[in-house]
Amino acid sequence: MMAEQPAALVSSAAGTNTGRSPSDGTPAIELFGVTKNFEHDGKIVKALGPIDLAIENGSFVSVVGPSGCGKSTLLRLVAGLDEPTEGRLRRYGSELDGPSREVGIVFQDHVLFPWASVLENVMLPADVLSLPKAAALKRARWLLELTGLKDFAGHKPHMLSGGMKQRAAFCRAVLADPQLLLLDEPFGALDALTREELSLELSRLWQDLGRTALLITHDIAEAILLGDRIIIMSDRPGRIRLDMKVDLPRPRDVSTVKNPRFIEIHQIARELLFARERN
């Protein structure tokens, strides 16, 4: 049996969750006419938008798109790591002002520090945000147990498999109990089998933690399997082509992919993604 979640210890003590009730209807993320241009060799390249989007609190939204469609740019904008060229972003109703401790990010490539142990890596947010050490350590150990990394806490990242590294990166992202979890192709560097296993595990974890999540991926099946909603993006400059509810029951597992509704949604998404090439 899993130990009981000691999440509240960290968040209440550190004041990371400022008691915003999830039920007041304010979307976690809102985008209004957001665009992003890059300058490349003196020429302006339109990477994204315009995009209007609202992500309701507590939901899991998957964004699928062809490579180079600006979906990672979208995530960076929501994370506050980049500023939009035009338009406005709001996070929990307030104008976005750079990165926030209420946002946890799982990057495409685990980005674990090679000189630090798994536990030290997971504890990084606690160190940087000066969270109470004992409570953070308790939560870190609980997360490591939850993701099957308990026995690897003292190991250096290079001794871990790809899937284990990404699990550790996930633990780090949720250590400070962020309201919003951003996942930038978190399984992109993994083999197909590990991918599927890990995405189902993530789905379960996300349900346990009950936070808002935004997943960026190029894998349609993964997007449907995890999402309450899937958003399909067009080629560069990326815009929303389809925004669709995934009305599949939870918890989802390996059998979900055989559900007729799953197959139907998968088909719609596929056709839309392939159609772009003929246009």
Partner 1 sequence: MGTFPWKAVSTRATTPVIYFVLTILWEAGVRLFHVPGWILPAPTAIVAMAKEWAPELLYNTYITVRETIIGFVLALVLSLPLAVIIAFTSTARRLLYPILLGLQSVPKVALAPLVILWLGIGNWPKIIIVILVCFFPILVNVVAGFEAVPKPMLDLMYSLRASKLAIFRRLRAPIAMPHLFTGCKVAITFAVIGAVIGEFVAAQEGLGYMILMSTAQSQTPLAFAAILLLTLISIALYYAIEFLERRFVTWHP
Residues that bind partner 1 (CB under 8 A): 76, 79-81, 98-101, 103, 105, 107-109, 111, 113-116, 124-125, 127-129, 156, 158
Minimum CB distance to partner 1, residue 213 (Å)? 15
Q: Which long-range contacts (CB under 8 A, 24 or more apart) does 42-47 make?
A: 45/236, 46/236, 46/237, 47/73, 47/236, 47/237, 47/238
Strand pairing report for 86-91 and 103-106: unpaired
Measured from the CB atom, the residue of 111 and 263 that comes closer to partner 1 is 111
DSSP state of 115: T
Minimum CB distance to partner 1, residue 87 (Å)? 21
Minimum CB distance to partner 1, residue 7 (Å)? 18
Minimum CB distance to partner 1, residue 113 (Å)? 7
Phi, psi of 170 (to 5 degrees): -65, -45
Measured from the CB atom, the residue of 58 and 80 that comes closer to partner 1 is 80
CA 42 to chain centre: 33
Tokens of 190: 């993994």
Measured from the CB atom, the residue of 97 and 271 that comes closer to partner 1 is 97
CB 217 within 8 A of CB 273: no
Measured from the CB atom, the residue of 111 and 254 that comes closer to partner 1 is 111
Minimum CB distance to partner 1, residue 176 (Å)? 8
Measured from the CB atom, the residue of 111 and 134 that comes closer to partner 1 is 111
Residue found by looking up tokens 């389809």 in the block: 242
Measured from the CB atom, the residue of 93 and 99 that comes closer to partner 1 is 99
Minimum CB distance to partner 1, residue 80 (Å)? 8
Cα distances (Å, whole numbers) of residue 138 to 3, 123, 224, 243: 11, 10, 33, 39
